[in-house]
């Protein structure tokens, strides 16, 4: 039996499990693993500037392609605690990533040794499995079990903590006969599918709510097939956006309090039956359960048994992987169609499509400073069906979801539940590392952009080009809008007169941080846009810069400081702060538009001249 250090065995298992890229920051307690990575030379390593950034890179890498599992590596102590936000984000959105940390020698554990934190315990609540390996001979099988855990049932992250003496110890290991452990995924039965389809068939106005579990299961083709077979319109959740193309006639719009379409909410309020597949009934999607469920029957399908009934009790629940469930649903629907008993949904689908065509929000504004809605309109005109958007949280994400269009699975890469500021940039780098060819457009507000701005240097160093759209109002915009309910505008302005902004240059005075200068200082390129007539040229310049230099390019839009984006507290009570467009004046709209009141604070610095 071959003898080797435990860390070499770990690297061989990573290879056998399909790992070809890792993100991380070396340090004293994890250097043995780095030595093994260097000696093997089979796994590309991308050096992050912050260990939290490495964890988000691994997250983006996983989300980019079906079957990917991102790996991030850090030393002992603060490296592990820095990864906690990344682990929480991955756990919340059912994303498998593997975090590997170094640790003090076993003899020094629990003795307050330098950087000897109990990361196993700290990470336990935000992982599927967190383990400190205390026996060198267990290293290969712990890594094997980690991949099994990440892939089985509801996907999620794992943390493996390796004391340095465990890493250095010699063990016997032969990887020539190594095999992956088969993942466990529950599957719907024929009887369950037939019962669910009977309930759907009895409804007058049914909808399918398509969650991120469909994308995780690589089952979007089956979703579209099932929708077309039954004629039932589909409402994707924020995590499921792209599971059915936005231009498909059965794509009925997103529903919710923030990242929703007016036509999506109106269609949902007119429905009487909802089949949820691979979704969580997240509160930003539902609002209050009383309003969301009133007058509707629900079937809920999820891979995780404890999700069934967690938010509200469905009328029927099925524990199943989304692909397995959709295969059974298609078979049951075909049986109904062959028997001549499958209802014709043409009239209901046409009604939903009509709402989609006429219940729109205004996006064309010629204002200077720019209105953010115009930015998204221009993005729709410039970027094609192949564009992959990466974003996290804030008014930029909310407005992006309301106005942008997504046509393919894994082309809306968004951390839905945790929403940590700073996630966008490293996640976009992870997506680029996973896919060298895809057009990637990251979307940030100025604060999200500033949170982990140092990671731009990673894109420059490792030649990971992508376009980063920054919608700059020099505000914590979403928090400012939320503070309206408290009649205040307190500690949410990022504006100041930058003493380094010469008045005779294109730097924008009064907006604080000069993002163009920072991006260029980190080895990237940047373009600033201040008026509508600059849009087309700016997009073309940015694309040319990426093609020439192979680095991230920042495209910053200077927008008006105060813009309230449509949102509300209930799906039937969304506040539309801008002019409402309805191309059919005879259409009955069951959503209420009102302003909750509150103050509109004067900007703390002068607006640029209009």
Q: How far apart are the first and last CA of the chain?
A: 76
CA torsion through residues 561, 52, 463, 156, sign = negative
Both tokens of residue 37?
Answer: 């990575």
Phi, psi of 303 (to 5 degrees): -70, -25
504 conformational bin, left if phi > 0, alpha if psi -120 to 50, beta if neither: alpha
Distance CA 158, CA 149 (A): 8
CB 449, CB 427: distance < 8 Å: no
The residue annotated as part of the active site, out of 421, 440, 522, 555, is 421
Complete edge-to-edge strand list for the sheet that includes strand 44-47? 44-47, 21-24, 70-74, 97-103, 158-163, 129-132
Active site residue 162: no
Active site residue 43: no
CA atoms within 13 A on the CB side of 603: 21
Collapsed DSSP state (helix, strand, coil) of residue 477: helix
Q: Count of CB atoms within 10 A of residue 202's CB?
A: 12
Active site residue 223: no
Vertex 483 angle, CA 477 and 489, to 5°: 75
Active site residue 479: yes
CA torsion angle 47 49 51 55 (round to 10): -70
| Residue closest to 478 by CA, chosen among 552, 387, 537, 563 | 563
Of how many residues is the chain composed?
610
Vertex 185 angle, CA 241 and 217, to 5°: 20
CB 587, CB 604: distance < 8 Å: no
The residue annotated as part of the active site, out of 7, 25, 458, 558, is 25
Both tokens of residue 425?
Answer: 């940039």
The residue annotated as part of the active site, out of 291, 479, 518, 562, is 479
CA torsion angle 323 329 330 335 (round to 10): 150
CB 9, CB 36: distance < 8 Å: no
E strand or H helix at 414, and its extent? strand 412-414
The residue annotated as part of the active site, out of 393, 476, 522, 555, is 476
Helices (H), 49-138: 51-64, 78-82, 84-92, 119-123
Active site residue 476: yes
Task: Provide the annotated active-site residues.
Answer: 25, 51, 421, 476, 479
């Amino acid at each position: 039996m071959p003898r080797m250090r435990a860390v070499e065995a770990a690297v061989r298992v990573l290879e056998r499990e399909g790992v070809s890229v890792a993100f991380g920051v070396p340090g004293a307690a994890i250097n043995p693993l780095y030595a093994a990575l260097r000696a093997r030379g089979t796994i590309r390593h991308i050096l992050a500037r912050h260990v939290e950034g490495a964890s988000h890179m691994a997250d983006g890498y996983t989300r980019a392609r079906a079957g990917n599992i991102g790996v991030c590596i850090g030393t002992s102590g603060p490296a592990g605690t820095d990864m906690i936000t990344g682990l929480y984000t991955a756990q919340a959105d059912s994303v498998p990533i593997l975090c590997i940390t170094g640790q003090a020698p076993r003899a020094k554990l629990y003795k307050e040794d330098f950087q000897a934190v109990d990361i196993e315990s700290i990470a336990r609540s935000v992982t599927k499995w967190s383990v400190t390996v205390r026996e060198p001979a267990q290293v290969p099988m712990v890594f094997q079990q980690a991949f099994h855990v990440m892939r089985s049932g509801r996907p999620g992250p794992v943390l493996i903590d390796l004391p340095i003496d465990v890493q250095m110890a010699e063990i016997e290991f032969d990887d020539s006969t190594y095999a992956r452990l088969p993942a466990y995924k529950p599957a719907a039965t024929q009887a369950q599918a037939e019962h669910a389809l009977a309930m759907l068939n009895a409804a007058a106005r049914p909808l399918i709510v398509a969650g991120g579990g469909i994308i995780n299961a690589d089952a979007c083709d089956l979703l579209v097939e099932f929708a077309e077979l039954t004629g039932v319109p589909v409402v994707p959740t924020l995590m499921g956006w792209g599971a059915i193309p936005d231009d498909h006639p059965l794509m009925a719009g997103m529903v919710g309090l923030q990242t929703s379409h007016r036509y999506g909410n109106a269609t949902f309020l007119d429905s009487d039956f909802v089949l949820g597949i691979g979704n969580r009934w997240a509160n930003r999607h539902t609002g209050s359960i009383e309003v969301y469920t009133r007058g509707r029957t629900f079937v809920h399908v999820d891979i995780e048994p404890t999700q069934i009934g967690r938010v509200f009790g469905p009328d029927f629940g099925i524990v199943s992987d989304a692909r397995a469930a959709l295969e059974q649903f298609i078979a049951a629907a075909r049986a109904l169609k062959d028997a001549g008993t499958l209802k014709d949904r043409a009239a209901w689908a046409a009604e939903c499509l009509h709402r989609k065509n006429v219940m729109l929000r205004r996006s064309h504004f010629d204002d200077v400073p720019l209105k953010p809605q115009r930015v998204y309109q221009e993005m729709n005109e410039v970027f094609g069906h192949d564009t992959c958007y990466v974003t996290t949280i804030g008014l930029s994400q909310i407005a992006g979801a309301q106005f942008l269009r997504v046509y393919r699975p894994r082309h809306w890469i968004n951390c839905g539940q945790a929403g940590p500021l700073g996630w966008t940039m490293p996640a976009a780098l992870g997506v680029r590392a996973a896919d060298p060819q895809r057009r990637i457009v990251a979307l940030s507000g100025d604060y999200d952009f500033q949170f982990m701005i140092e990671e731009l240097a990673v894109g420059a160093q490792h030649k990971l080009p992508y376009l980063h759209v920054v919608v700059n109002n020099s505000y914590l915009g979403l928090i400012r809008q939320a503070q309206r309910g408290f009649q205040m505008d307190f500690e949410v302005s990022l504006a100041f007169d930058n003493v380094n902004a010469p008045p005779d240059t294109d730097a924008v005075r009064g907006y604080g941080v000069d993002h163009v200068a920072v991006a260029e200082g980190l080895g990237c390129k940047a373009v600033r846009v201040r008026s509508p007539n600059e849009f087309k040229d700016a997009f073309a310049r940015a694309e040319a810069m990426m093609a020439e230099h192979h680095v991230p390019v920042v495209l910053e839009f200077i927008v008006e400081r105060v813009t309230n984006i449509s949102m509300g507290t209930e799906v039937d009570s969304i506040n539309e702060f801008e002019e409402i467009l309805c191309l059919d004046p005879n259409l009955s709209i069951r959503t209420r538009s009102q302003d909750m009141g509150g103050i509109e604070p004067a900007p703390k610095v002068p607006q640029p001249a209009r």
